[in-house]
Amino acid sequence: MTLLFFIIIAVAIGYFFARSRESQSIRDSAGKTASSSRSWSGRAEDWWQSRIMKRSVAGPFKTWAAGAGNDLLPEDFKSWLAGLSDQDARDFTQALDSYSSDLGYSLKDLVDGEYANKPALMSVFVEAIVVYSQEFRKAKEVDEVDEVAEAAIEDEEPEAEKAKPAARQSSRRRKQPPAETSEAAA
């Protein structure tokens, strides 16, 4: 019974305290704390996404290239980009994003329209994208040629391995002791 009495008194005090003038300052400080924690969590999430998760901008970049970037990009680039598979587009945009961040640009900002009001920056960035894409395509072609050459070398290796045991067998025959050959002849 005493416990119930203390609970009722605590609820009453809490009710009156919540209605008092001091409650507004407590609500304000709680709101500031919540806002601050949301800000910090947003920054941590952005850091995590940019450093660890590496969000793919392949889809948005292809959409930008077909839409807002249509007038800025050459036709061969647009057709090449449109013909990429999803995995190849992810690989390209990830490499392009890394390259552009090294230059001080952001592919995400380009896609989001951050450079729309900065035509000089936009034209330099688009030119860098076009040049990088040409070098990326050349490097990809070289990789494919290397893979074909390695496959051809692997195909030739079994024939060379087949020839080695025959050579070994003939050398074993030559190394037979002379006594065995003379007994076989007698």
113 near 69, Cβ under 8 Å?
Answer: no
In-domain check, residue 23: no
Query: Residue 116 belongs to what domain range?
Result: 58-164
**Per the domain annotation, does 124 fall within a domain?**
yes
**Band (7; pLDDT cuts 50, 70, 90):** very high
Evaluate whether residue 44 is within a structural domain.
no
Residue 115 · residue 109 · CB < 8 Å = yes
What are the pLDDT digits (tens) for 24-70? 676 677 777 777 777 777 677 666 655 554 556 767 888 888 888 77
In a domain, 42, yes or no: no
Residues 6+ apart with CB under 8 A from 66: 78, 82
Closest to 123 in 3D by CA, of 105, 98, 135, 99: 105
Query: From residue 10, how far is each of 1, 17, 24, 27, 158 by CA, in Å?
Result: 14, 10, 20, 20, 87
The number of folded domains in the chain is 1
- Return the pLDDT at 53: 47
Residue 32 lies in a domain: no
The token pair that represents 163 in the structure block: 């020839």
Inform me whether the pLDDT recorded for 125 exceeds 50: yes
The reply to whether 179 falls in a domain is no
- Regarding pTM above 0.85, the answer is no
Q: What is the distance between the alpha carbons of residues 18 and 150, in angstroms, rounded to a whole number?
A: 77
Helices then strands, counting H and E runs in the chain, come out as: 8, 0
SS3 104: coil
Structural domain contains residue 185: no
pLDDT digits (tens, 9 = 90+) for 138-171: 888 888 888 878 877 877 755 555 555 555 555 5
Identify the pLDDT of residue 151: 76
- Place 177 in a pLDDT band, splitting at 50, 70 and 90: low
Query: Sorting pLDDT into bands at 50, 70 and 90, what band is 9?
Result: very high
Predicted confidence (pLDDT) per residue in 103-120, tens digit = 888 888 888 888 888 888
pLDDT, mean of residues 78-99: 85
Query: Quick check: helix, strand or coil at residue 68?
Result: coil
For residue 16, being part of any structural domain is answered with: no
